[in-house]
Amino acid sequence: MTVGGGTSFPTTAHLASYSGLAPTTKQSGTSIHGEHAPRGGNRQLKHALFLFAFAALHDPASRSYYDRCRARGKPAE
């Protein structure tokens, strides 16, 4: 699993799409059926990012940053 330090992706949105974390919208003609998590993407990278996120919540400094963001009204994503 290699992303080359992220330099091969022009934006963070491209990296999110590659990893399968960017939401996709099902659309046909004028009908839009909302956003959902894609099934594709790099599964190993997606798994590693989820493990990193959950581990960060147990780190006191990361948890404190998360709690401060939530107190300012940021969504829990």
Amino acid present at 20: G
CA distances from 8 to 4, 12, 22, 44 (A): 7, 11, 17, 18
Which residues, 6 or more positions from 16, have their beta carbon under 8 angstroms from its beta carbon? 22
pLDDT at 10 over 60: yes
Which residues, 6 or more positions from 56, have their beta carbon under 8 angstroms from its beta carbon? 62, 63, 66
Q: Kind of pairing, strands 31-36 and 24-28?
A: antiparallel
pLDDT at 71 over 90: yes
The pLDDT of residue 59 is 92
